[in-house]
Amino acid sequence: MITNPHLFRPLTLRGLTLKNRIVVSPMCQYSATEGLAEDWHLVHLGSRAVGGAGLVITEAAAVSRDGRITPGCLGIWADEHAEPLARIVRFLKSQGAATGIQLAHAGRKASTTAPWKGGKPILAGEADAWTPVAPSAIPFTPAHTVPQQIDFAGIGKLRDEFRRAARRAVKAGFDLIEIHAAHGYLLHSFYSPLSNHRKDEYGGTLENRCRLVVHVATDLRAVVPDGMPLFVRISSTDWVEGGWDLAQSIALAKKLREVGVDVIDCSSGGAVSDANVPVAPLYQVPFAEAIRRDAGIATAAVGMIREPAEAEGIIADGKADLVLMAREFLRSPYWPITAAKALGVQPKVPDQYGRAFS
Ligand SMILES: Cc1cc2nc3c(=O)[nH]c(=O)nc-3n(C[C@H](O)[C@H](O)[C@H](O)COP(=O)(O)O)c2cc1C
3-state secondary structure string, 104-170?
A: ECCHHHCCECCHHHCCCECCCCCCCCCCCEECCCCCCCCCCCCCEECCHHHHHHHHHHHHHHHHHHH
Mean pLDDT, rounded, for 84-101: 98
Closest atom of ligand 1 relative to the 325 alpha carbon: 26
Closest atom of ligand 1 relative to the 59 alpha carbon: 8
Domain with 309 in it: what CATH number?
A: 3.20.20.70
Predicted confidence (pLDDT) at residue 2 exceeds the cutoff of 80: no
CA 184, chain centre distance (Å)? 12
For residues 50 and 334, the answer to whether their CB atoms sit within 8 Å is: yes
Global confidence as pTM: 0.98
Mean pLDDT, rounded, for 207-235: 98
Residue 232 CA to ligand 1 center (angstroms) comes to: 15
pLDDT score recorded for residue 3: 80
Domain tally, the chain = 1
Q: CB under 8 Å to 222, separation ≥6 — which residues? A: none
Establish if 1 belongs to a structural domain.
Answer: no
**Contact 268 CB / ligand 1 (< 6 Å):** no
Establish if 221 belongs to a structural domain.
Answer: yes
pLDDT score recorded for residue 351: 95
pLDDT tens digits for 59-89? 999 999 999 999 999 999 999 999 999 999 9
Establish if 210 belongs to a structural domain.
Answer: yes
Predicted confidence (pLDDT) at residue 358 exceeds the cutoff of 90: no
**Contact 281 CB / ligand 1 (< 6 Å):** no
CA torsion, ordered 163, 37, 323, 47, to nearest 10 deg: 150
Establish if 266 belongs to a structural domain.
Answer: yes
- Mutual orientation of helices 308-316 and 335-342 as an angle, nearest 10°? 80
Top mutation candidate among 23, 25, 45, 188 for ligand 1, by most atoms within 8 Å of CB: 25
Domain encompassing residue 211: 6-357
Top mutation candidate among 27, 185, 235 for ligand 1, by most atoms within 8 Å of CB: 27
Residue with CA closest to ligand 1 atom 23: 303
pLDDT tens digits for 161-208? 999 999 999 999 999 999 999 999 999 999 999 999 999 999 999 999
Give yes or no: 353 in active site.
no
Top mutation candidate among 22, 23, 28 for ligand 1, by most atoms within 8 Å of CB: 28
Establish if 41 belongs to a structural domain.
Answer: yes
Residue with CA closest to ligand 1 atom 21: 326
Q: CB under 8 Å to 14, separation ≥6 — which residues? A: 226, 227, 228, 229, 262
Q: CB under 8 Å to 15, separation ≥6 — which residues? A: 225, 226, 227, 228
H or E element, residue 179: strand 176-181
Mean pLDDT, the chain, integer: 97
Establish if 143 belongs to a structural domain.
Answer: yes
Taking the C-alpha atoms of residue 276 and residue 312, their distance in angstroms, rounded to an integer, is 29
